[in-house]
Each structure stands twice: as structure tokens, then as C-alpha cells.
Structure 1
Amino acid sequence: MHRVLDGVTDGVLVVDTDWQITTANAVAADLLERERDTLVGTDIRDVFPRSFAATFHEHFGGDDPEPAEISFEEYFPELDVWLRVRTTTIGERLAVYYRDVTDRKALEGDLEDRKAELARLERINNIVQKIIRDLVGATTREEVEELVCKRLAETDLYEFTVIGEREMTGEQLVCRTAAGEHDGILELIVESGADADGSRGPEFATMETGETRVVRHLVDDESVPEPVRREAFARGLQSSIVVPLRYGNTTYGVLSVYALDPDAFSERERESLETLGVTTGFVINATRQRNLLLSDTVIELTFRITDAFFATASAQLDCELAVEGIVPLDAASLLCYVRVDGAEPDVLLELADDRSDVDAGRVIHESATETGGFTEVTVSGRSPIVTLATYGATVRTAKFDHGTGLIVAEVAPSSDIREVVEAVGERFPRSELLSKLDRERPIETVQEFRSGLHERLTERQRNTLQMAYYGGYFESPRDSTAEELAETLGISSPTLHYHLRAGQRKLLTAFFDDDAERERPVAVDDHQSRRNE
């Protein structure tokens, strides 16, 4: 009998009518962490461990229990295992079979946790995507921030949300908007400042570094100010995440989300909220640009700059530099077209090679009559032009003369002027705001705009452009070649190209350049085209 039972992979105990164990195999003893000899002759109800639900003892406890066939899987704390238990009657005796199913239970638990995590993530992604879609219709920064906070807080995933920014003094967090159950604790988050042990909270850390911070145990994390920890304990708050609202190199503020679940912010959930943060920063910037574009009035700001690249370069080269065109490349860099007067353009590019905030560009052309030319330079990071653009301003002029730069920028009346000025001053300590003026924008009808274009073009330029347009020269593929158009007009092909370029340049100047009277220096190849006419 023992030899047969020892070949069974389950633990087996056989008991008689008095509930005494008469037979136990080796597996049974090992699972119960007992010697086999100590099991035989004892009451099974005394040696069989009690499970979390006590199913075995409920069935076979009491004064006169009846043998019965049962089956269950339960956790046994004393052994720290899950056992699958099955009983069967053998005549008047009872056989108890059990096996360790802890590994299977752990795998099932992992699968259930995984399913729950994926379901939560899918729900969060749907919420974030809907918020992003709705942000398209927002017209002000306040509307953007309120929408984000409200939509996240109205779910049952999070307790409350806050969007804040650092006060200009840098000593305190300013709450811009909040949603959810935040009464009592929001004031502590905003007003804590530097704690006694020097901690300033994850919100300040994210504002300073631009990096997301996740706090998984609010009560125990010493980076959280003590008053906030105490209130979090009282409310049952477990975790939080702080996401920067960024566009390019500028952090507009932070989005803080607080939850009751200690495992609320998985890596994937963090990525989803970071995507929302980036999108929110982009939309905040876009609303500023849109408000400036649609406004009938603007605020004109004039800055004196002496500690930026173009200013220091103009001093080193003893020359004048003028940024005459700006094209955004991405959120953190701009392509600048710079006129150089009094120095060789390639020397300016050599200076740019030694700067981390300026990428060397190319010489577009050199002046045919004097020292100077036209260059293309990419600026990024620490540049007043990038800073102003990031805060929704349009740079109208940027001129640098022997070490001193004057930058004129326009912002919408709804913009926070102090925020813009402080941003420039923080990055360029020697900068100075020289003037702040309210200006009316002239309203021009479509007919007036077309009349203005008509007056700028010569008759030959108008005729050439019209023939090229109606003749399909600008189609792809072209319906007419330059040679065919030139033959019709009775001019040479180089002359046709010259008139096309001259006319197109005037049209583009009217669209891109407010100073329409300014003419770009004539390049060497333009002189050649004129000789061909």
C-alpha cells in the first residue's frame, strides 16, 4: 500500500471512522512539512492546516461529521501555498488528496492582473484621445487647461487633477485650474513651498527639470512636503504623477494627477499622460499664435539684446546682422535668413560652429558690390528669437549692430506680457524691454490686396505670370514648357525665367514680408539674367 501511494504525485491521507490518519504517503508529509511517522495515528483535523476560507474544517469539524466528497482550491497561510484538495469515500473511510497549485495560481493571477492593466490602459487611451480631439476647438489657454483637468478628474480612475505653473519669483506654485476632490489638499500643494527638510514637491521638480515624476507612495516619499503627506494619509491618497506641459524647450506648466490606487501609473499609462502633456503644450502655443493672427490689435514689444549669438557675433565681426526671414523647423528650432553687412558671411558660419545653440548653415550668396551677403542659420535652444516664438510672439525685426541687438516682436492682447518678458529676461539676463506699445492693425480688403500686388508687378512680369499660370506651367506634370512660353512671348528662355522669378519674388514678398518696399540684395546670377533680357 505504501509503495503504491508513494508513486502518486498528489499528497494522500487515509483516515478511519474516528478521523485518525492510518496511511500517509511521502508527498503528503512533505506538503504539510511534517514527518510521515508523526502523521499516522493523529486526528486529521488537528494536523491538516486551516485554509483562508477554512472549507475543510467547516465540512469535517464538529462532534460527529460525516465523510463526504468535496473539492476546492484555497490558500493556506500557514504553509504559504495554494492547495487543490479533493476527498473521496472508500467504504467507511475517507481519502484526502491534495497538491500544490501555487505556481498555476500565480500565473493565473498575473494573467488577470495583465488583463486588468490592459483594460485600464485602453480606457485611459480612449479618454486621452478624446481629450486631444476636443482640444482642437479650444481658443484660449484657460479653455485648454480646464478641459484637460475636468476630463481626467471626472473619471473614476483619478481623485483630482491640477494644472499649475511656477510663480515668477520661483518660490511658489500657482494653481491655474483644478478639478475633482481636492478641497483642503490643493492649498497645501500650492502653498507648501520649501519644506523644513528642503523638499519642494514633485511639481517643482518637474517645473525645473521638465521631466515626468511618479510618486507611488505619497505618504512615505520624502520628496513630497510633509503637510501634503499628512493630508494624503488622511484621504487615502496613494500615488501621483506630474507631467510637464511642454512645447519645444519651454515648459508652460505641469499637470498633476492624484489617485487612490498605489499602482495607478504604469509605464504605459505614464506614456499616455506624457503624450497628453506634449499635446496640451502644443495647443497652448497654437492658441497664442492663432489669437495673434486673428487680433485687430497687437502689443509691440521692443527688446535690447546683448548676450545672444547674433549680438556677440556682430561685435566680434564688427558688422551688422539683420534677420530677414524666419521659418519654424520644429518646436525648438528656427531657420533664420540673415543679411550680413560689413563682414564675410562664411566667417559668421565659422562662429556658429563653436556654439551649441546654433547650427552652422550655408552661405546663400555673397554681395556683388561690398563685403557682406546672405546666410541661412539654424538657431535652437537658447535664442531670444526661439524664446519669443515659443511664447506665441511673432518676431517682426531682429537687427544686431556691433554688439547690440534690437528685436521687435508682436503678441496678442490676451497674452501674459509679464510672462513673455520674464521668459526673455530669465534666459538673457542682460536683456532689456525698451518699449511696449499698443498698435492697430490696418484692415485690407481682398480687392485692395490684389490692387497692391498689381501695382508692384511690371507689365512684362504680369503677362509672363498669367501666361505661365493659364498655360499650365505650374502644373505637375507641366502642360507647357518654358521654351514654349518664351517662343510665344518672343523672348529667350533665360529672360522668361528672369521675369517669372522676379514676379514670384514680389508675390511672395507681399505674403511673407510686411516691409514690402525692402528689396533683397541682387545676387550675381540676377545680373546675368538682366543681361539676357
Structure 2
Amino acid sequence: MTEPIHVLFVAPPADGQAMAMVRERVNITVETVPNAVDAHDRLHAADCVVCTTAIPDADVLPFLEEIRNSQPLLPRLLFSDTANSVFEDVLDHDLADWIPKAGGGRALANEIERTARWIRHERQLTAIRNSSETLATAETEDEVAETAVAVASSKLSYAAAIVARYDGEAGALRPVAWKGVENPDADLFDADSGLGWNAFLENEIQLKDESEGAGFTQWLAIPLGRHGVLAVRRESQSDSEPKETTVIETVASNVKSAFTRLDREWELSAQEARLANSKATLEQTERRESVVRDVLHTLVSSDTRSEIEQAVCKRLTNADPYRFAWVGEYDTTTDELSAQTWIGDEQAFLNELSETNHEDTAETTARRAVRTREPARDNDLLGEPPYESWRQEALKRGYRAAVSVPIIYRESIYGVLTVYSGEPNTFGEMEQDLLEDVGTAIAYGINAVESKKALVSDSAVELEFRVRDPQFTVIKFVQMVDCRFEFESVIRETDDTLRLFFTTEGTTPEAVLSFSDQSLVVNDIRHITGNDERNLFECTISGSNVISLLLDHGAIPKAATAEGREARLTVELPQTADVRRFVETFQSRYGNTELVARRKRNRPVQTEQDFRAQLRHRLTDRQSEALETAYWSGFFEWPRESNGQEIAESIGVSQPTFNRHLRAAERNLLTTLFEDEQK
């Protein structure tokens, strides 16, 4: 389990009751000290400091200023009213965040809870960085596996973690490291129907819900490529589950890379034993691997696409026997490949490559990699004369071999990474595989920074399209089923599969269900609810589809309708996105498409207080009473501390009436959480 957040409360005894509600919060501990002397002795163990304006043996201003100077990253909170000069001085000098006493213990508890979430998130990021460094230098597979389960169980929010490796001789997954369980459950990795085995075979994340009653237990199995699986157990739900899943996926990706690196190092060691006379060649290969590991480390600390590309080009250009590296950006709408980032004075050479890209008879490795979406190499640029102009320029600079790897994230191609060497036959299969890993890492890094822009941006561009392409899946659907379609929501299940929720009008559920038999994209349609006029469905969609196209380009689908031969689609892009390129990409994918509106939208930040007020507005008095009484009576704990009959008696209603009020309150809560956030 994760380490609790430790709060140091510096205040006279009379103020000690203010922390009562804080002590009730999960995974937060409180230590109260009455004076500044004791506080200084305990600062080393604190994750957050809370004080009042009346510290018995010290002035608050120099006390907080000393903490800021000695531990600038330690959160500081001032719990006081406004009617004194100390409060104003603290705020004027930005020494602490202010929590008004008028809010009582609840306001203080809410702020500490928010601070605790931030601290936990920072701890997770630190855990990923530290584990990445440990995994990058791990010398054994056991060390990699032990690191993985230790990070998942002690640094992240998982109750148990298991790493299982594939045993080729036994043809099965064999647990090699675990925490949180006495012995791994064999059924979890059973070769017939085990969750871990399915994740390993399909190379897709698998979920299994083992919740009973009000309790929650969920297993998540993340594939580690050909190496095995990482299985983790979650025993609590939170709003940050998608973020937590992304974090554990990152850990799994690092573990997979570590196992791959160890496999390659083992292969190199075996080759060294067989080929004792090729020591120099082996050392050179190991140096190249070291370069690739360094490149991967730079991705962790880069915040922009430019920083990622610059760091990669610099490290590769300075690594023997590489002589030059550059990253080209590919425009799918114009089919243009242009040099974007490089190190050194090679503008003339890159200009020649750009001109060559338009000549079919002189295709470069970079252009070939973009066209085929596969690595392309030329291990002897000297070849036989006469030479194309770009080869002439390469030979003038002493370049003898080249390899280009496409930078692809899912279906989106960002560009190409090209590396030149001064020696022929430099890029063998292993060398190409390593650079292909770098290209994949760059693509994931670029997508991560662009997705972050979309998430944190406080403004967005809203685009509305009118689509009349008869091959557009939604149009094919409404014409075949003869109905009106309306998009409700979408959830990404895996890299390749989405779960879509939609409503129809003017048709029967049977007609809708039959569509999956005619489509390669839409599968597993399920009728959820409805009546003679309107019905709600869910389905899975995979392959090449409009929703994946939007999400892969950082766009968020907001609304979509279709009827007859026309569909309307509204999406949001971050303010920093290249809107023109996105529109051109969308129109090139779907013919007879028109951009009918473009609007700028602000994204107001909803505070916790706003959310609470909105929820209170939705709930009736009876619903609020039922929900709060159930919560504080332990109805949602596992095991339950009070049952429905006991709570119903305490509020003076029958159990069916209590159940009805509670279900309505839960519905309003989830509506506020899920539906309103999409508006």
C-alpha cells in the first residue's frame, strides 16, 4: 500500500480539534506539536505543515519564512481568521496558503486532501523516474521483476502485484516475483482461461472484476511483450483510475524495455563467448546500446516535442559510429517530408534531401520509411555510380550507411528518424531494432506531451464538420438501419479497442443489433434500455475508425448525429493544436466533408466547492439525508458497518423507501460526475 501523507500541525492545544476531520481521511496521519521548537525537530518527517497565527513561543512570519528557505517544496498552510496583521503579512510575503477558520475543520480537511493528492501524484512520478533508473541499470531478470512489484505495491495504489515470465520449456507463465499475496493464484495465469495468459497471448490489457457486495476488487493484467505479464490488484476506486492505469502502463513499458535490454545483453555475452576474436565489435555494440538507453532517459525529462527531438538528435549525433541524425516531420495531407530537427550545420544536405523527396527515381531511406511505415536502411551508400544527387552530398560528408525508422503512434505517423554512419554495414538487424525502439519511444513521448497540452489547456478550439461520405461508418449505419444516430460517450479500453455509447430513434433494437454482422469496425452491440421511440446501445469499435482518428490527433469528440445521408460531428482541439493540419487530415480521410463552424471555447475550472454546490442542487433533502447517513454509517465500507434496514430505521422510513432515495442520490452523483464534465 502507498505511504501515508504526514501532516505536522503547529498550534496551541485549544486549536487541536480543528484537525479532527483530517484524521478521518484515508491514508493521512496528523502529528500535533504545541510550539515552534518541537516543530523544527519534526519537520524532517512532515509532508505538509499547518499552523495558526498564535504559536506560543515564536512569531509566525519568521517561522514560516525559515521553513520556506530550508524546505521550499514543503507545502505550508495557515489556518486562521482574517482579523489580524499576521494573516496579511503571511499572504503579502507568499509564505503559506490560507485556510479560513470560518470554514471549520471541513475546509481544512478538504485543502489537506487536495494537497495530499498532489503529493501522492508527485510521489508516483518520482517512483517512475527512480524505477526507470533502477531498471535501466538492473543486471538480472530477478532484479527487474522485484523492482516492478515493489514499485506497484509500495509506491502506487495497488494491494498486490505479480510479475510472471513466460517459460518456453513448460509453455506457461511462471510467477517470479510478487508482493501483497502469500502465493500467486494459479488460475490467474492458467493457459486455458487465465486473465494473465489472455493478456500475454493477445498483447492487450485485461481486466477482471472480483468485487462482492459493496467491496471492490479488480485485477489488471498488463502484457510485457514476449517476456510475460505484470498483474496488479486494486481494492479501491477513485476518480484518478485512468491516470493510475496510465502510470502502471508506463511502469510495465519500462519493465518490458528492461527485460528486452537484458535479453539483448545476454545475446551479446553469448556472442562474445562464441566469437572471442571479435571483442572490439562487441564493445562497440554495447556502446550503441548505452546511447539508446541514454536517449530513452532524456524522454522522461522533456516537456515539448522540440525538446524530445533535439535531445535524441544530439545524443545520436555524438555517438560513435553515428555521424549525423535528424528528425523529419511528415504532413499526411500534402505528403511532404521536411527536416524538422538536427544538430550541426547540415542545412544544405537536408535541402537536397527535401528536393529528392519529389523524385520517384531517387527515393531516400527517409522517404521509403514514410511510404512503407517500416524501417528502411542502406548499408552501402557508395554502391555503384552514377550517384543520385543526394548520395553525392552524403558521400561528400563521408556518410557510408543510413537507416530511417518511422515515428508512429497507433495509426498516426509523426515523421521519421534518420541516422547516418561513417562506416558501411553499420546497421544490422540488432542495430535497426534498437533505433526502431527509439522511434517508438519518440512517438509515445510526442503523443504524451501533446495529450498533456490538451488536458491542461484552459481554452480549446471547437470544430463542427458536416460529413456526406457514403463510406463514413455512421452514415452507412443510419442508412442500413433507417434511423437517427446520436453519440453519447466513448471509453478507450485498449490501444486498439473503444467502447461506444449511442442512442437511436426511429428503428427497432433488432435492426440495430444486426448491423454488427455487416461491419468490420463495429462489434458486440448491446441494447441497454429504451422504448418505442428512443433506445440506448453500447458496442465496441476497432480498426480504422473516426473516433480513433480523433483521439490519436488529440481531439475530443463532443457531439455527433447522423440521419439520412448526412452526419454532423463536433470536436474539441487544444488551443495550441495545428487546426489547419487536423482539418486537412480529417477531410483527406473522409471525402465530401465540410468544416461548417469553428469556435473558441473556454474551459472553466470547476473547484471542489463548485462541484459540491452543483451536487447539492441536484439532490432532494431526502436523497441527501439517505446518502450522507449511509456514508457516515459505514454502509459503503467492506464489510458493511450498517445495513439498509438499520439506516432506514434511523431516518424513520421503510427499507424500500431508503433504497429508492439512495439509488436516486447515487444516480444524481454519477450524472454530475460523468455527464456534466462532457458539456
Could you state the TM-score of these two structures normalised by the residue count of structure 2?
0.55
Q: Distance in 1 between matches of 2:631 and 2:602?
A: 36
Alpha carbons of structure 1 residues 264 and 487: separation in structure 2 relative to 1, 3 Å: farther
Give the letter aligned to residue 517 of structure 2.
D
Alpha carbons of structure 1 residues 350 and 193: separation in structure 2 relative to 1, 3 Å: same
> What is the Cα deviation at residue 318 of structure 1?
2.0
Of the three residues 326, 344, 366, the one matched with 1:203 is 366
> What is the Cα deviation at residue 516 of structure 1?
7.5
Give the letter aligned to residue 155 of structure 1.
A
State whether structure 2 residue 613 is matched by structure 1 residue 448: no
> What is the Cα deviation at residue 474 of structure 1?
3.7
State whether structure 2 residue 272 is matched by structure 1 residue 110: no
Q: Larger relative contact order (C-alpha < 8 A, sep ≥ 6)? A: 1
> What is the Cα deviation at residue 410 of structure 1?
0.9
On the 8 A contact 1:335/1:376 being kept in 2, the answer is yes
Q: Distance in 1 between matches of 2:542 and 2:460?
A: 26
The Cα RMSD (Å) is: 3.0
Give the letter aligned to residue 175 of structure 1.
A
Of the three residues 259, 262, 281, the one matched with 2:443 is 281
Query: Hey, what does 1:330 align to over in structure 2?
Result: 494
| Residue correspondence of structure 1 range 331-370 to structure 2 within 5 A | 331-356=495-520, 358-367=521-530, 369-370=531-532
Give the letter aligned to residue 201 of structure 1.
T
SS at 1:185's partner residue? helix
Q: Distance in 2 between matches of 1:118 and 1:272?
A: 15
> What is the Cα deviation at residue 364 of structure 1?
4.0
> What is the Cα deviation at residue 320 of structure 1?
1.4
On the 8 A contact 1:159/1:180 being kept in 2, the answer is no
Q: Distance in 1 between matches of 2:335 and 2:525?
A: 44
Query: Hey, what does 1:231 align to over in structure 2?
Result: 393
Alpha carbons of structure 1 residues 107 and 457: separation in structure 2 relative to 1, 3 Å: closer
> What is the Cα deviation at residue 167 of structure 1?
3.9
On the 8 A contact 1:220/1:229 being kept in 2, the answer is no
| Residue correspondence of structure 1 range 13-412 to structure 2 within 5 A | 110-113=275-278, 115-116=279-280, 119-167=283-331, 170=334, 172-180=336-344, 182-195=346-359, 198-220=361-383, 226-307=388-469, 308-356=472-520, 358-367=521-530, 369-412=531-574
Q: Distance in 2 between matches of 1:261 and 1:486?
A: 82
Alpha carbons of structure 1 residues 497 and 238: separation in structure 2 relative to 1, 3 Å: farther
Of the three residues 435, 438, 442, the one matched with 2:597 is 435
- For these two proteins, the number of residue pairs brought into alignment is 407
SS at 2:322's partner residue? coil
Which ranges in structure 1 are unaligned for 5 or more consecutive residues?
1-105, 518-533
Could you state the TM-score of these two structures normalised by the residue count of structure 1?
0.69
SS at 1:198's partner residue? helix
> What is the Cα deviation at residue 501 of structure 1?
4.1
Alpha carbons of structure 1 residues 476 and 178: separation in structure 2 relative to 1, 3 Å: farther
CA deviation string 1:58-102 (max 9, x = no partner): xxxxxxxxxxxxxxxxxxxxxxxxxxxxxxxxxxxxxxxxxxxxx
Query: Hey, what does 2:234 align to over in structure 1?
Result: none
> What is the Cα deviation at residue 225 of structure 1?
8.1
Q: Distance in 2 between matches of 1:152 and 1:240?
A: 13
Give the letter aligned to residue 348 of structure 2.
G
On the 8 A contact 1:165/1:207 being kept in 2, the answer is no
Give the letter aligned to residue 345 of structure 1.
P
Alpha carbons of structure 1 residues 273 and 451: separation in structure 2 relative to 1, 3 Å: same
Query: Which is greater in Rg?
Result: 1
Alpha carbons of structure 1 residues 159 and 294: separation in structure 2 relative to 1, 3 Å: same
Alpha carbons of structure 1 residues 282 and 473: separation in structure 2 relative to 1, 3 Å: farther
SS at 2:415's partner residue? strand
Q: Distance in 1 between matches of 2:676 and 2:510?
A: 28
> What is the Cα deviation at residue 160 of structure 1?
1.4
- Percentage of pairs with the same residue: 32
Give the letter aligned to residue 160 of structure 1.
F
Q: Distance in 1 between matches of 2:291 and 2:388?
A: 32
Give the letter aligned to residue 205 of structure 1.
R
On the 8 A contact 1:121/1:268 being kept in 2, the answer is no
Alpha carbons of structure 1 residues 462 and 120: separation in structure 2 relative to 1, 3 Å: farther
Alpha carbons of structure 1 residues 315 and 241: separation in structure 2 relative to 1, 3 Å: same
Instruction: Please state which structure has a larger fraction of its residues in helix.
Output: 2
Give the letter aligned to residue 406 of structure 1.
R
Q: Distance in 2 between matches of 1:194 and 1:499?
A: 69
Give the letter aligned to residue 110 of structure 1.
L
> What is the Cα deviation at residue 359 of structure 1?
3.5
On the 8 A contact 1:172/1:191 being kept in 2, the answer is no
Alpha carbons of structure 1 residues 445 and 156: separation in structure 2 relative to 1, 3 Å: same
SS at 1:429's partner residue? coil
